[in-house]
Structure 1
Amino acid sequence: MKKYLAIFRIRFINSLQYRAAALAGMATQFAWGFMEILAFLAFYKADPAAFPMEFSQTVSYIWMQQAFLALFMVWFFEAEIFNAITSGGIAYELARPVDLYWRWFSQSVANRLAKTVLRCLPIFIVAMLVPGPFRMSLPATQGQFLLFLTSAACSLGVVVS
């Protein structure tokens, strides 16, 4: 377990170096988040009873979606792992004294968490400071927040596995 934590730590620190990419990603996520909220606002103004959630809940959902996109995006794959498989370098990986699955799992979790850490906090800060109906609201209870953390951890495990 110690070696996988070391792999995680090294990959996490290495991934934190890409701050410019994180800033570009944040700008895109802000633009997309506002665009999506404005589109939903138009639909809610037309017929608010047609939706299962209130507009404020939809806004919070969209901001959460934007903040955690890097953590849960299913279309993202590890280029290093893909290259090792296609180039035949996987033979060297198999010769190492670590379990290949858990090495790649640790590496993938670290990459996703590093990208999320760089983007998540600024998105939450802006989402809490925007005016009125576009503001993100916090969970109503601590229990809901703990359920969110549990489901997020399980989702990360599924996406990375």
Structure 2
Amino acid sequence: MPRIDIDAAPERNGTAYPPPFDAPCRDRRRRRLGNAVGLTQFGVNRLVLAPGCWSSQRHWHTAEDEFVWVVSGEVVLIENEGEVVLKAGDCAGFPKGVANGHQLVNRSAEPAVILEVGGRNPEQDAVDYPDIDLMIAGDGDTAYRHKDGTPYETPSGRVK
């Protein structure tokens, strides 16, 4: 049945960013709605940002489009051109290959709920994080790396 039980959809909480870049994103909560019904060409997530939480580090993709719609609450969209408040009903999109680093930050006192839609080309997609020493190289490499190409290591010494 194509109807999605949101509470039963696969959940992915927190972040895989290496320290210290993980800290502002630790309280994000995602329900992977597209995965719940077997979508393969694009992903759809219900993202909940607690007060003070970030959706991501500021970034842009080479091979994946992104679209966000604020379902409830409000967030601040931070991108190259500055900041703008997005409230319930507002949406924004980010075409692949456009070097416009972007992120959502919940600066309000209430949780914000966002619907995220994006491509599923992780093996082809490179990701640039313009404000920090972080990147994903693409071409089949989906690991977080320093901008000089060396991989980040986890506290246990394993490469992410």
Identify the TM-score tier after normalising by the shorter chain: under 0.3
TM-score of the pair, normalised by structure 2 = 0.22
TM-score of the pair, normalised by structure 1 = 0.22
Q: Larger relative contact order (C-alpha < 8 A, sep ≥ 6)?
A: 1
Structure 1 or 2: more helix by fraction: 1
Kindly name which structure, 1 or 2, has the bigger radius of gyration based on alpha carbons: 1
Structure 1 or 2: more strand by fraction: 2
